[in-house]
Amino acid sequence: MSHPPLRFELPPYRLSGTVVGALLNDPAQLAALGDAVHAAPHKAPPHAPVLEVKPRHTLAGDGAAVELPAGEAALEVGASLGIVIGATACRVDAARALSHVAGYLVALDFSLPLAAHYRPAVRLKARDGFCPLGPAVVPASAVADPDALGVDVSVDGAVAHRHTTAGRVRGVAALIADVSEFMTLQPGDVLLLGRAHGAPLARAGQTVAARIEGVGTLRARLVAEALA
């Protein structure tokens, strides 16, 4: 089950289908790894952004049915602020980075439980429909401070995880600056600020929702994988 890239009605909110997510952007995630960050082959905490690319087949919209693979008990339900690029960003500095943002959306970042962050298996994170985006793009001008937004994840209507976009290793401007240093971000690309530590679990038959203050609420329902 694949999903085409999402297209919102008003430009520049036509998403390109390129979504890049930040991993380990919450200091609590690094702290939870403990001494593993100093072990081989890495031998030190990361100094540059740790990124993943969400393929087009992972993208879905508000209210999507997300399949729990057969034989798996649950999915991790991460929530992330999505940063929609509105103007080409190539080697921009942090002071100018926000001027390249068209707006913001909510991203649900589903994953099968990960044993390690440094080498996440593609099969655990890049399944069809594992990255719903929406429910709309809120113009950047309507979000006073993207680094100070409350985030809730609910499972069947009950809040299961609460955090904020504050206190990240790299805030929105710094993330854009550091990523655009080596990767040109084009209009319609989406950069994910990254999930927080402690993402809750959800099972087939449950409905999940991610709410970001001032941005919106994105919903999805988990269904058992339909085997041919």
User: Is the entire prediction scored with pTM above 0.85?
Assistant: yes
pLDDT tens-digit series, residues 96-133: 999 999 999 999 999 998 766 555 578 888 999 999 99
What burial class does residue 5 get, using C-beta atoms within 10 Å of its C-beta: 0-12 exposed, 13-18 middle, 19+ buried? Answer: middle
Token pair for 56: 């087009």
pLDDT at 196: 96
10-residue mean pLDDT series, the chain (228 residues): 61 87 90 73 75 94 95 96 97 98 97 69 88 95 97 98 97 98 96 96 98 98 88
Helix then strand count (H, E) for the chain reads 4, 13
Query: What is the fold, at CATH topology level, of the domain defined by 19-224?
Result: Fumarylacetoacetate hydrolase; domain 2 (3.90.850)
Q: Quick one: pLDDT at residue 118?
A: 54
